[in-house]
């Protein structure tokens, strides 16, 4: 209430919250244990001091007017998004304009959707009216009325075609001016800007081409593009590979390979999560079961059978079973909603789930709330999404072929 509505909760509400979070409080859908456990984003970043320092040094160059493309690479679940998330949080506190988005591994991805998401940032929106009308018209092609109604946009007049030019030449000229308009929308902010792009390996061709154009045209602007990518999948995206090669040649690319956490990192993360030190036997068990992958360490700690009592960790099983047990611990309705959401293949809204589900609206809302509290779902400006692609995959794997 304080964050969303700027209203102080009443005493009755505060008492209810204390009851819900107390050890002997209400057991909602069997998820009391998950409510009491602290979500991963509440634990401190461990084992990434060197990587964080490298990004901080990169940011110093950016502030001096040298735009950069930072790509954090590594295997799925190693903690790439978490590292960039912490960098973005620190940047926000320092007054930096931070716009975030992500790509999705689905067929028919909408071209330039990440760029559209960035341009919808409130601070960027406020700077659009300062642009000349010719550039606002180009921005309106991607986000209608984003820059305000212009006479040129209303008329929708076709661009003149030179008599001696081929159709391909005209298209290339129009595309250049369109890209230029989008670039001017970003640099019009006039202050340090961080653009976050999760899952670069799934980036559409148009966005990848525009990113290269942005870096070439934003000389002198305090701009950092921070992207995450799975190392093994980058080579499959030709346009992104060309973007990285060109940026590398131009000296504007910073590549950071993120390895799994070492034994000390796993112990430190577990200690911050459980508020106690692990024994040598528990540490060995956790490292063996998770391989040091941040996602699996957190999921293993959440699913440990004795987490509530503060007792020793029980055997954790293989990596896939860790996520499966997390989902199976949810209520039946919540599992149904998670299965439905996993079939969407990308972020989703509450309206979409209520329309597509056979459950009553109240049941869907309660299920989404439960999955959000368990950090299976996360909230975004456009709706909700799974906390990680591997969690989505695990939810989809629980759906039978007839379903």
State pLDDT tens for residues 329-366: 788 999 999 999 999 988 899 999 999 999 999 999 99
- Pair (253, 107) in one structural domain: yes
**In a domain? residue 24:** no
* Domain at 67, CATH number: 3.40.50.300
Are 195 and 84 in a shared domain? yes
Judge if 246 and 352 occupy the same domain: no
Q: Is 383 exposed, middle or buried (0-12, 13-18, 19+ CB in 10 A)?
A: middle
Is the domain of 252 the same as that of 364?
no
Pair (352, 215) in one structural domain = no
- Residues whose CB is less than 8 angstroms from the CB of residue 215 and which lie 6 or more positions away in sequence, other chains included: 67, 69, 225, 247, 250, 252
> At residue 137, what are phi and psi to the nearest 5 degrees?
-60, -40
Contacts of residue 351, Cβ cutoff 8 Å, sequence gap at least 6:
none
Q: How many domains does the chain have?
A: 2
pLDDT tens column, 180-219 = 999 999 999 999 999 999 999 999 999 999 999 999 999 8
| 271 domain-assigned | no
Residue 7 located in a structural domain: no
| Within a domain: 385 | yes
In angstroms, rounded to a whole number, what is the distance separating the alpha carbons of residues 302 and 192?
A: 38
Judge whether 25 lies within some domain: no
pLDDT at 282: 80
Tell which of 209, 233, 257 closes a domain.
257
Q: Which of 113, 93, 87 shows the shortest CA–CA distance to 101?
A: 113
Residues 107 and 204 in one domain: yes
196 and 98 inside one domain = yes
Domain end residue (candidates: 194, 224, 257):
257
| Domain assignment present for 87 | yes
111: containing domain: 49-257
Examine residue 230 and state whether it is found in any structural domain, yes or no: yes
Q: Classify residue 194: in a domain, yes or no.
A: yes
Q: What is the CATH number of the domain that holds 398?
A: 1.10.10.10
pTM over 0.95: no
Same domain for 246 and 110, yes or no, is yes
pLDDT in tens, 14-50: 777 767 765 554 444 443 333 333 333 334 578 888 8
CA–CA separation, 342 and 313 (whole Å): 30
Q: Which residues contact 289 (CB under 8 A, 6 or more apart)?
A: 296, 300, 315, 316, 317, 318, 319, 322
Q: Per residue of the chain (403 residues), give pLDDT as tens.
A: 766 677 777 778 877 776 776 555 444 444 333 333 333 333 457 888 889 888 988 888 898 888 999 999 998 888 899 899 989 988 998 889 999 999 988 766 788 999 999 999 999 999 999 999 999 999 999 988 766 654 544 444 444 343 333 444 446 678 899 999 999 999 999 999 999 999 999 999 999 999 999 999 998 899 999 999 998 788 889 999 999 999 999 999 999 999 888 888 888 888 877 777 888 888 877 777 677 888 888 877 776 644 444 555 655 555 567 778 778 878 899 999 999 999 998 889 999 999 999 999 999 999 999 898 877 898 887 799 998 887 888 899 989 989 8
- The verdict on 233 and 346 lying in the same domain is no
Please say which residue of 194, 223, 257 terminates a domain. Answer: 257
Backbone angles phi, psi at 347, to 5 degrees: -70, 160
Radius of gyration of the chain (CA): 23
Residues 183 and 77 grouped into a single domain: yes
Specify whether 233 is located in the same domain as 377: no
Q: Is 239 exposed, middle or buried (0-12, 13-18, 19+ CB in 10 A)?
A: middle
Buried/exposed 340-372: b ≥16 CB within 10 Å, e otherwise: bbbebebbbeeeebbeebebeeebbebbbbbbe
Residues 251 and 342 in one domain: no
Token pair, residue 395, equals 């939810």
Strands, DSSP E only, in 140-283? 193-198, 223-230, 253-257
Partners of 271 in beta bridges? none
């Amino acid at each position: 209430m304080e964050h969303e509505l700027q209203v102080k909760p009443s005493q009755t509400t505060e008492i209810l919250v204390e009851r819900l979070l107390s050890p002997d409080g209400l057991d909602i859908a069997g998820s009391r244990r998950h409510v009491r456990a602290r979500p991963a984003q509440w634990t401190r970043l461990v084992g990434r001091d060197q990587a964080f320092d490298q990004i901080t040094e990169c940011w110093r160059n950016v502030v001096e007017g040298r735009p950069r493309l930072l790509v954090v690479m590594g295997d799925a679940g190693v903690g790439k998004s978490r590292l960039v998330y912490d960098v973005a949080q620190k940047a926000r506190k320092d007054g930096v304009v931070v716009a975030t988005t992500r790509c999705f591994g689905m067929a028919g991805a909408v071209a330039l959707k990440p760029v559209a998401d960035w341009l919808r940032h409130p601070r960027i929106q406020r700077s659009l009216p300062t642009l000349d009308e010719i550039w606002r018209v180009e921005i309106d092609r991607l986000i209608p009325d984003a820059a305000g109604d212009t006479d040129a946009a209303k008329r929708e007049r076709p661009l003149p075609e030179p008599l001696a030019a081929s159709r391909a030449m005209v298209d290339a000229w129009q595309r250049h001016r369109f890209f230029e308009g989008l670039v001017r929308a970003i640099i019009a902010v006039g202050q340090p800007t961080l653009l976050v792009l999760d899952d670069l390996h799934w980036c559409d061709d148009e966005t990848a081409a525009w990113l290269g154009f942005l870096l070439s045209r934003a000389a002198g602007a305090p701009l950092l593009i921070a992207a995450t990518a799975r190392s093994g999948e980058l080579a499959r995206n030709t346009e992104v590979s060309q973007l990285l090669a060109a940026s590398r040649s131009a000296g504007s690319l910073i590549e950071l390979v993120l390895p799994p956490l070492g034994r000390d990192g796993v112990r430190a993360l577990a200690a911050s999560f459980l508020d106690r030190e692990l024994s040598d036997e528990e540490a060995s068990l956790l490292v063996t079961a998770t391989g040091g992958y941040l996602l699996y360490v957190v999921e293993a700690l959440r699913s440990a059978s004795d987490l509530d009592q503060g007792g020793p960790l029980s055997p954790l099983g293989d990596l896939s079973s860790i996520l499966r047990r997390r989902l199976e611990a949810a209520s039946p309705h919540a599992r149904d909603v998670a299965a439905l959401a996993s079939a969407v293949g990308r972020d989703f809204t509450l309206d979409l789930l209520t329309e597509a589900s056979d459950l009553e609206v109240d049941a869907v809302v309660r299920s989404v709330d439960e999955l959000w509290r368990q950090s299976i779902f996360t909230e975004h400006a456009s709706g909700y999404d799974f906390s990680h692609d591997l969690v989505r995959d695990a939810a989809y794997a629980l759906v039978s072929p007839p379903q």
